[in-house]
Amino acid sequence: MDIIHNKRLFNQALVDYVNFYNTKRFHKSLKKKTPIQFIIDK
């Protein structure tokens, strides 16, 4: 089933991506820290 046509799957994929983006993905503009690490270190 296509994720775009399944609201529940789409929402879960979006939550998973936002979680990854904020807790796992390093950002060059944040001195190679995740946004969560950057906020905690402030």
Structure confidence by residue, pLDDT tens digits, 6-41: 888 889 999 999 999 999 999 999 999 999 999 999
What pTM was computed for the model? 0.74
pLDDT level of residue 2 (50, 70, 90 thresholds): low
Q: Which is more confident, 17 or 42?
A: 17
Please list, residue by residue across 16-40, b when 16 or more beta carbons sit within 10 angstroms of its beta carbon and e when fewer do.
eeeeeeeeeeeeeeeeeebeebeee
- Whether residue 20 contacts residue 14, with contact meaning beta carbons closer than 8 Å, is answered with no
Query: Residue 19: its pLDDT value, please?
Result: 98
